[in-house]
Amino acid sequence: MAKYGLIGGKLGHSLSPAIHKLFFQYTGKEGTYGLLERDVEALPELMQKLRSEYKGCNVTIPHKLHVMPLLDKIAPEAAAIGAVNTIKFTEQGAFGYNTDYFGFGRMLAYNSITVKGKVAAVLGTGGAARAVVKYLADQGVAKLYLVTRDIAKVDTRFAEMAPMAEVIDYTALGKLQGDVLVNCTPVGMFPKVDASPVPASVSAEFDASVDLIYNPAKTLFLQQAEAAGHKAVNGLFMLVAQAVAAQEIWQDESYASDLIVRIMTALEQEQ
């Protein structure tokens, strides 16, 4: 049976095994998906083993950068983002991809949020923000505000990925209006659910708010958007969509959004 897995540091609470199990169940594909908790020093040896025994794997914190030098080829979006979260093993070698990029895009499309020619603001400048910013830039967003607590510390790669991006602080964000506001910070995540990265007055100035957080399903950030009568989307669709995008790479097949929704629904019922 084909073997797949997730490489990461601490994986105790990962939803990935459940998502991939549902994928196998609903598509009839055969496979196992296990957790591969490793320190960075153990990665070269692990990769040798995976190359001979595995068909594919996902990669999460803190190894999305560490695996890159161990691969034979990296897809353009993953190279630009500077992070790999999916690896496909073939006889030709180990190939790296970033499916957070595709998962985010599919989430916007599914929720009819268009960004071409629009004004977007992205909160936070970590790994998730890099995939989001690259996607927004590739889709032709007109203006992109990258919002940080400390402008001096922002990675210079953002400017390369998104020449239209302007790095601002939260005070400057308070004076802006726009179309899409994306939370790429962990603020509001369980158990600290009483926090939002921005006040309600900011949420009111954007037509749609997207939170990458999926626990809780409705963060305070999203409650603020809904209270202002605006669209609010949580990160569960993205989480499942990035897993399905990985399966599309491994299986070399395409899957409809119905499958993502079916997996999401099953996960919500399990929780």
Look up residue 72 and give its two tokens: 């034979």
* Residue (3 or 257) nearer to ligand NAP, CB: 257
Q: What whole-number distance in Å separates Cα of residue 84 and Cα of residue 94?
A: 12
User: Minimal distance in Å, beta carbon 91 to ligand NAP?
Assistant: 31
Look up residue 121 and give its two tokens: 């603001």
| Among 100, 119, 221, 233, interactor with ligand NAP by CB under 6 A | 100
User: Minimal distance in Å, beta carbon 156 to ligand NAP?
Assistant: 13
Stretch that binds ligand NAP, among 33-41, 44-52, 199-207, 231-239 (CB under 6 A): 231-239
Question: Which positions from 108 through 167 interact with ligand NAP, judged by CB under 6 A?
Answer: 124-129, 148-150
| Among 8, 56, 96, 103, interactor with ligand NAP by CB under 6 A | 103
Q: Does 186 engage in binding with ligand NAP (CB under 6 A)?
A: yes
Strand locations in 173-213 (E): 178-183, 206-211
Residue 165 parent element (H or E): strand 165-169
Q: What whole-number distance in Å separates Cα of residue 159 and Cα of residue 167?
A: 9
* Residue (185 or 247) nearer to ligand NAP, CB: 185
The single-letter DSSP state of residue 104 is H
Residue 192: active-site member: no
* Residue (116 or 153) nearer to ligand NAP, CB: 153
3-class secondary structure, 242: helix
Residues whose CB is less than 8 angstroms from the CB of residue 150 and which lie 6 or more positions away in sequence, other chains included: 169
Query: Among all residues, which ones are annotated catalytic?
Result: 64
